[in-house]
């Protein structure tokens, strides 16, 4: 991992310029994850919750990586990428920055005084009981959004003699990440037409 992230880069990528970080990333992803969790969290029962909250901090990206891991042919040029790689790199970056900012006296999660006030994932799952009406209303709301969009697309009739026929059309979610792709496509080729629609962000 370190070769791609630092050796092949034209600019220095901190903290991968640090020797300790480079040595860490030369290990297998699973070992990197375990090492970083031991240093950052320090208590194994909290590892799962820490990783979950870390992945939920950027919804969509972790889900996309997982999809590409399971279906590499989804890319025109397949990449050797996995969710374990993504987690390992992110944890290595986090640990490198913490070590730089806080030094070796960094207080890990298990030793923070506010830990007792943080709701634990295990307690949440144990007490989780979603009422059936709430589930039904939630699924009905999602279905209505899907139906509304598909019905609107179907109802729009193309003009009999269009003056400017686009070379391609693309539909995107209203999302900062996808909006940048929309702007790039439209700037690269004005004949490309893009549309957007608000969806739920799924991880």
- Supply the pLDDT for residue 41: 93
pLDDT at 155: 67
> What pLDDT shows up at residue 64?
85
pLDDT of residue 153: 72
Distance (Å, whole) CA 23 – CA 31: 12
Q: How close are the terminal C-alpha atoms of the chain, in Å? A: 24
Mean pLDDT by 10-residue block, N- to C-terminus, for the chain (203 residues)?
60 75 86 94 90 85 86 81 91 89 83 78 64 83 80 65 76 76 85 77 44
What pTM did the predictor assign? Answer: 0.59
Supply the pLDDT for residue 7: 64
DSSP letters spanning 82-144:
-HHHHHHHHHHHHHHHHHHHHGGG---GGG-GGGGGSPPHHHHHHH----HHHHHHHHHHHHH
């Amino acid at each position: 991992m370190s070769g791609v992230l630092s050796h092949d880069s034209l600019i220095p990528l901190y903290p991968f310029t640090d020797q300790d970080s480079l040595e860490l990333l030369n290990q297998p992803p699973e070992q990197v994850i375990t090492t970083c969790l031991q240093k950052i969290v320090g208590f194994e029962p909290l590892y799962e919750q820490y990783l979950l909250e870390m992945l939920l901090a950027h919804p969509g990206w972790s889900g996309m990586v997982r999809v590409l891991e399971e279906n590499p042919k989804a890319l025109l040029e397949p990449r050797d990428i996995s969710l374990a790689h993504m987690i390992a790199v992110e944890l290595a970056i986090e640990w490198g920055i913490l070590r730089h900012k806080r030094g070796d006296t960094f207080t890990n999660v298990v030793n923070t005084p506010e830990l007792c006030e943080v709701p634990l994932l295990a307690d949440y799952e144990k007490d989780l009981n979603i009422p059936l009406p709430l589930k039904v209303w939630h699924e009905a709301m999602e279905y209505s959004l899907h139906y509304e969009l598909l019905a609107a697309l179907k109802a729009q009739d193309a003009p009999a003699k269009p003056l400017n026929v686009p070379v391609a059309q693309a539909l995107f979610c209203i999302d900062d990440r996808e909006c940048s792709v929309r702007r790039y496509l439209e700037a690269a080729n004005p004949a490309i037409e893009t549309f957007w629609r608000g969806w739920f962000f799924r991880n």
